Amino acid sequence: MKASENILDKYKIPISGLSTGVHEYMFLLDDDMFSYFKHPDVEKGSVTAKVILEKRPTVIELDITMNGSLTVQCDRCLETFQYPIESEEKIVYTMGKLEGYDDEEIVIISKEQSFIDLTNDLYEIAVTQIPISKIHPNDAKGKPACNPEMLKILEQYIITGESTPTQKLSDIL
Ligand SMILES: [Zn+2]
């Protein structure tokens, strides 16, 4: 077995022998996962995903609660920082058509399917928490937590009129 297959194997839940009722799982989305998918903005991460699975005869409902942080690069000062994420999602798996679930993501599965592979879902939920503009949050004093040296360079550009306060260092360099 290749290493990459090993990395993703841990995000699978066996369902064929699973009894009806509620089951709980914990997954860790780690550096291995984020480096595997090679997301352009997310280098690393440490996110826990608690999955509450309810199995009924033809429906499997998943409530996924995510908490953790992703390592991203600040658009303003280009240093990396930990971006905290928090998310709750529901995924419904059904064997056949299902009424009454308009808002939820519905995945149709066959009776023969022996496991649910959450790799892509967990990854997608985590990385879609990243905003389009990734900027260091302010510190306790309300000052930007950006690299001060980089901020100085940025300010010089603003003063000389080559940039506007809304522009980012990544646009200039
Ligand atoms: Zn910054």
Cα separation values, 47 from 9, 24, 87, 99, 128, Å: 17, 17, 10, 33, 13
Q: What is the pLDDT of residues 96-105, one digit of tens each?
A: 766 666 666 7
The alpha carbon of 101 and the centre of ligand 1 are apart by a number of angstroms equal to 42
Neighbours of 153 (CB within 10 A): 14
- Please give all residues whose CB falls under 5 A of ion ligand 1, grouped by chain where several chains appear: 74, 76-77, 136, 146
For residue 52, what pLDDT is reported? 98
What is the gyration radius of the CA atoms in the chain, in angstroms?
21
Contacts of 76 (CB under 8 A, 6+ apart): 135, 136, 144, 146, 150, 151, 154, 168, 169, 170
Which residue type sits at 27?
Answer: F
Answer yes or no: is pLDDT of 112 > 90.
no
Say what the pTM is: 0.81
Of 8-12, 51-55, 57-61, the range with the highest mean pLDDT is 51-55
The alpha carbon of 71 and the centre of ligand 1 are apart by a number of angstroms equal to 12
How is residue 18 annotated by DSSP? P
Neighbours of 37 (CB within 10 A): 14
For residue 169, what pLDDT is reported? 59
The alpha carbon of 124 and the centre of ligand 1 are apart by a number of angstroms equal to 25
**Residue 41 CB burial class (10 angstroms; 0-12, 13-18, ≥19):** middle
Cβ-contact 74, 146 below 8 angstroms: yes
The alpha carbon of 171 and the centre of ligand 1 are apart by a number of angstroms equal to 13
Cβ-contact 6, 33 below 8 angstroms: no
